């Protein structure tokens, strides 16, 4: 497809379980970003990849959150021992090399922790 | 800490009734200010980038302007299809914040026919 693809689109899990969220960026985009959007919080930056390295992971809220990117393409965001406050829409975006601010977002993965 | 405040939180307009959305920001040094549009259940869609005070960008019925403290998104003769949440974001200059945008809470715009 031509756009950023995220899976799953919806995930319901129990407190304490681990979850993995996947992002497939636009082909040729070297930069990849994860953001989180919750009610009343707006969009919150989590992590930025340039290629396979993450020069800015300052937004990860705790050590339960981790992300990796392989082959300069697909990225996985992993949340361990999920908590109810992790419930949110997790948005992935990609952009051409460097940083233009013109991010192309996927439709997000909605995570609900019961 | 970088901050972005958008007002109003919600705006209801009649079709054809022009108005403006406000984005006030505090940032240590501005690399860029960005406007996005978000439809329900979708990811944000890029609209504009502004880099320096006095700069203006236009696209169809939308015009974005920038001062040293705030940005405005002017909507001229809106149509119902302009209904969406409009998000403002800033990127700070320097450091390792190349990938980080700080977003405001958004303005929910509803345009009635």
- Between the CA of residue A93 and those of A35, A111, B23, B71, B110, what are the distances in Å? 8, 17, 23, 24, 26
How do residues B53-90 score in pLDDT, each as one tens digit? 999 999 999 999 999 999 999 999 999 999 999 999 99
Contact B43 A33 (CB under 8 A): no
For CA atoms B46, B29, A66, A41, give the dihedral sign.
negative
Q: Report pLDDT for A32.
A: 94
Q: Are strands A104-105 and B70-75 parallel, antiparallel or unpaired?
A: unpaired
Q: Is A38 on the interface with B (CB under 8 A)?
A: no
Contact B89 A104 (CB under 8 A): no
- Who has greater pLDDT, A97 or B103? B103
Query: Of the candidates A33, A45, A103, which has its C-beta nearest B46's C-beta?
Result: A103
Q: Name residue, tokens 């940032």.
A: B27
B57: phi > 0 → left, psi -120 to 50 → alpha, else beta; which? beta
Contact B44 A33 (CB under 8 A): no
In the predicted model, what is the mean pLDDT of residues B4-17? Answer: 97
For CA atoms A89, A61, A26, A19, give the dihedral sign.
negative
How do residues B84-102 score in pLDDT, each as one tens digit? 999 999 998 876 666 789 9
Name the nearest CA neighbour of B4 among A104, A45, A94: A45
How do residues A20-53 score in pLDDT, each as one tens digit? 999 999 999 999 999 999 987 789 999 999 999 9
Percent of chain A predicted with pLDDT > 70: 97
Beta-carbon contacts of A99 under 8 Å, excluding residues fewer than 6 positions away, are: A31, B91, B98, B99
């Amino acid at each position: 497809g031509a756009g950023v693809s995220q899976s799953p689109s919806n995930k319901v899990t129990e407190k304490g379980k681990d979850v993995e969220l996947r992002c497939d960026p636009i082909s040729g985009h070297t930069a990849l970003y994860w953001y989180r959007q919750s009610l009343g919080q707006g969009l919150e930056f989590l992590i930025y990849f340039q290629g396979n390295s993450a020069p800015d992971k300052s937004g990860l809220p705790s050590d339960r959150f981790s992300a990796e990117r392989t082959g300069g393409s697909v990225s996985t965001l992993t949340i361990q021992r999920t908590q109810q406050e992790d419930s949110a829409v997790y948005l992935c975006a990609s952009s051409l090399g460097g940083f233009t601010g013109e991010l192309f977002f996927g439709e997000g993965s909605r995570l609900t922790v019961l | 800490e970088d901050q972005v405040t958008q007002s109003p939180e919600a705006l209801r307009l009649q079709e054809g009734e022009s108005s403006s959305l406000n984005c006030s920001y505090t940032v240590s040094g501005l690399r860029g200010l960005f406007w996005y549009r978000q439809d329900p259940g979708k990811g944000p869609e890029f609209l504009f980038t502004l880099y320096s005070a006095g700069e203006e960008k236009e696209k169809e019925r939308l015009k974005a302007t920038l001062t040293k403290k705030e940005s405005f998104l002017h909507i001229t003769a809106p149509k119902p299809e302009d209904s969406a949440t409009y998000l403002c974001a800033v990127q700070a200059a320097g450091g390792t914040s190349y990938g980080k945008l700080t977003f405001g809470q958004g303005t929910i715009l509803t345009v009635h026919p």
